[in-house]
Structure 1
């Protein structure tokens, strides 16, 4: 069994400090083989905020992998945003904006979906899709993609869906992607989505914010994925009374047409 902890939208610079130690404790106690961080580690991409984010990551016992979010490029420094948008992220978090990891038979491929020329809306780059398809073609087991921006949003979502989201999801499905992790909206959503062209149900796991006070009508949370063979147990961990506790459990099984809930 492979265990993945998925956190997102920490927003150092606007966090609930009373949740910091409980989140670290819950992640370290989860027995995860990997912690996947889907962007927005900071609120305004300032060095002090990146230092706080890195101190958080350094306290994690499991290895971690991270991709940037739209808040991780400077908003209040237009020249830096235009000329060196990822300089601070690279310095403090990772030089690799689209990292790859292998945990047992599981292959994880990160996407950098940030568009420095826009404030919120992201985009998918062709080279990242090609890199993911190459990684997944060589993968012996489950294939997981992670990005800050979601590839699909619920109707009525106030934020714009990222550029090329639909065709990119179809391409990922054709390349064999099984799971997509994302953040950005600060809301929980976990269900298979049916890709129309590829005809495969790819499992979407979209978590809220782990630490931020910028809530969207839901609690601070993160996800635990337990992957074994063709089955995934997905636990939503929610902050309640000063601790992160299991709030829901969903089980998904993979068939010829992809994932279905059990």
Structure 2
């Protein structure tokens, strides 16, 4: 069995400090093989916020893979935003913006969807999708994509969907993607994608792990246990006791396997 912990939208600089240790403790108890961090580590891409985020990452109990979110690009410093948008992230978190993590029977491919010319909406780079598909086609195991921005949203979502998201889903399904991990909306959603993918990719969209900017939901993260064609997904939610406790557990079949 493979275990992945998925956290997102930590927003250091707008974080609930009382949840940092409980989140660390919950991740320690989960004993994941890898921790996927799907962006927005900071609130305003400031040096001190990146340092706080890196200190958190350095305390994680397992290898981690991370991609930037739109909040990890400067908003008000226009010269930096336009000329060196990822400088702080590269310097403090990771030089690679679309990293990958591979071990036996598991391949996680990160996609950088943060885009300095569109603050909220995000952007898909075709060369990154092509690279992910090339790697997936030759891999015998769980094939996971991680990005900050979602590839599909519920009706009524105020934030705009990335351009080209539906076409990207079709291509990722064709090359055998099993799961897509995303964040950005501060809302939980876990179900197979619909439309042209034929429901063959499981979407796991977690809320915010630490931020005080809640969208009517509690702070949470996800644990994915993958064994063959099956994925058991557990939502862990911040409780009134100040810890993270199991909320719901659902079993999915990974149709592309």
Task: Tell me the TM-score normalized by structure 2.
Answer: 0.97
Partner of 1:226: 225
State the match for 1:141 in structure 2: 141
CA shift, 1:103, in A, is 2.6
Measure the CA separation in 1 of the matches of 2:122 and 2:20. Answer: 28
What are the equivalent positions in structure 2 for 1:80-99 lying under 5 Å apart? 80-99=80-99
Q: Pairwise mapping of residues 203-242 of structure 1 onto structure 2 (< 5 A)?
A: 203-240=202-239, 241-242=241-242
Distance 1:226 1:200 in 2: 19
Match of 1:174 in 2: 174
Distance 2:6 2:243 in 1: 17
Output aligned runs, 1:195-210, within 5 Å: 195-196=195-196, 198-210=197-209
For residue 201 of structure 1, give the secondary structure of its aligned residue in structure 2. coil
5+ residue gaps, structure 2, are: none
Deviation at 1:135?
1.1
User: 1:75 and 2:75 equivalent?
Assistant: yes
The answer for the alignment partner of 1:157 in structure 2 is 157
Per-residue deviation, residues 52-71 of structure 1 (Å, max 9, x unmatched) = 00000000110000000000
Contact kept, 8 Å, 1:2 with 1:104, in 2: the verdict is no
Structure-2 separation of matches of 1:54 and 1:26: 18
Q: Any conservation in 2 of the 1:74–1:81 contact (CA below 8 Å)?
A: yes
Structure 1 contact 46–88 (Cα < 8 Å) conserved: yes
Q: Deviations over 1:57-100 (max 9, x none)?
A: 00011000000000000012100000000000000000000001
| Segment of structure 1 superposing worse, 80-89 or 162-171 | 162-171
Q: CA deviation at 1:254?
A: 3.0
**2:53: which partner in 1?**
53
Contact 1:169 1:195 in 2 (8 A): no
For residues 19-78 of structure 1, what are the alpha-carbon distances to aligned partners after superposition, in whole Å with 9 as ceiling and x for unaligned? Answer: 000001111110100000000000000000000000000001100000000000001210
Conserved 8 A contact 2:223-2:233: yes
Q: Could you tell me how far apart the structure 1 residues matched to 2:33 and 2:202 are?
A: 20
Provide the C-alpha distance between the structure 2 equivalents of 1:254 and 1:236, rounded to a whole number of angstroms. Answer: 18
What RMSD in Å do the two structures reach over aligned CA positions?
Answer: 1.1
What is the CA–CA distance in structure 2 between the aligned matches of 1:187 and 1:81, rounded to whole Å? 27
Q: Which residue matches 1:30? A: 30
Supply the distance in 2 between the matched residues of 1:55 and 1:76 (Cα, whole angstroms): 25
Q: Is contact 1:173–1:195 with CA below 8 Å preserved after alignment?
A: no
**Displacement after TM superposition at 1:193 (Å):** 1.2
Does the 8 Å CA contact 1:195/1:201 hold for their aligned counterparts?
no
Q: How does 1:94-113 map to 2 (within 5 A)?
A: 94-113=94-113
SS of equivalent residue, structure 1 residue 130: helix
